Amino acid sequence: MLETTWFILWGVLWALYFVLDGFDLGIGILMPFLGKTERDRRVMYNAQGPFWDANEVWLITAGGVTFAAFPGTYAVMFSSLYTPLMLLLFALILRGVTFEFRHMDENSKWKKLWDSCMVGGSFVAALLLGVAFANIFMGIPIDAEGVNQGTLLTLLNPYGLAGGVVFVLVFCLHGSLWLSVKAHGELEQRARKVARALWFVVAIGAVAFLFLSAVFTNLYANYLANPLLFAIPLAAVAGLILARMAMGQDKYWLAFLWSGLFIVGVAFFGIAGIYPALLPSSLDPAYSMTIANSSSSTLTLQIMLGVTLVMVPIVLLYQLWVYRTFSFKLEHDDDLYY
């Protein structure tokens, strides 16, 4: 029971990370398309600036939970996916450095350099997250010793790349919705136009990904064994439809929240499908890293659960305070720090 509880918490932390960091990765990718002027780009930086480092907390927490609750999975995951995870880390560092250095010089070449880092880092991070999780959903060629028999190129299979493209599109939609909330004037109108166009692309991509999941993975086995689980992808579909309806009513705050529900549904579609494995093996299901063969001791899980029940609400309250404090539209130059 404790192992299952931690598996669900593991999934919740990853889903939270995708929702919160997804919008700032999306804004970074969209910068060449929406940032027509220097002021536009400054607004795009400031739309994510007060939030992005707090959003990364959930990535660190998800990684920490994997290490503490499922050390066996952590060891195999971080050795099997070492190269893409290091590339992901470098991409996120590049984004973080951009926030600190870009505004230190008014030279246009200096700013273009850091803008390129922001766009490249955002795109690579979003793409790699999608590739990594699609491969986890499909299974990684882990042998009986827990050693990955594949290479980086093995991860770049059709289903993995499809997952990467879907993540990029979903994050771009999420980012354009957030920018619709934060920006003002022409930039706000451009963000709204892009969000409406992206919605159809994301809808097509989501349907294609569901179809490919039936072809390349065993995710649907759990759903067919327990049809109640179909509520998860249905919630994702409902979130996407409600987001479009809210856009039609010019309620972009609401559209952003429904988009968040869509992302949580997509993440849990895969997480529920691989249960009880955290890292399925594509060579033999018996080689998979599961909640049974990779979890920590019962005492460790009990202590961690107590700490989590105290600390996670505190972090959530802090993050709610940050979002409330910086919830205003970026209409004035005094609001632009970055």
CB within 8 Å of 265: residues ≥ 6 apart? 232, 233, 234, 235, 236, 237, 238, 239
Rounded Cα distance, 135 and 124, in Å: 16
- The DSSP bridge pattern shows strands 277-279 and 289-290 to be antiparallel
- Count the residues in the chain: 338
Name the helix (H) or strand (E) containing 278. strand 277-279
Indicate the burial class of 226 (C-beta count within 10 angstroms; 0-12, 13-18, 19 or more).
Answer: exposed
Rounded Cα distance, 241 and 281, in Å: 34
Question: Which residue range forms the structural domain that includes residue 24?
Answer: 1-279+287-335
- Sequential pLDDT tens for the chain (338 residues): 788 999 999 999 999 999 999 999 999 999 999 999 999 999 999 999 889 888 888 998 888 888 889 998 998 888 878 888 889 999 999 999 999 899 888 888 999 999 999 999 999 999 999 999 999 999 999 888 888 888 878 888 999 999 999 999 999 999 999 999 999 999 999 999 999 999 999 999 999 999 999 999 999 999 999 999 999 999 999 999 999 999 999 999 999 999 999 999 999 999 999 999 999 998 988 999 999 888 899 999 999 899 888 988 898 898 899 888 988 888 877 777 77
Tokens 């505004």 belong to: 103
Nearest to 17 by CA among 45, 51, 67, 46: 51
| pLDDT at res. 262 | 96
Count structural domains, the chain. 1
| pLDDT at res. 197 | 96
| pLDDT at res. 82 | 82
Rounded Cα distance, 317 and 243, in Å: 25
| pLDDT at res. 116 | 95
Instruction: Give CA angle at 319 (59, 116), nearest 5°.
Output: 55
What are the distances in angstroms from CA 5 to CA 187, 275, 302, 304?
44, 12, 11, 11
Rounded Cα distance, 120 and 88, in Å: 11
| 196: number of Cβ within 10 Å | 16
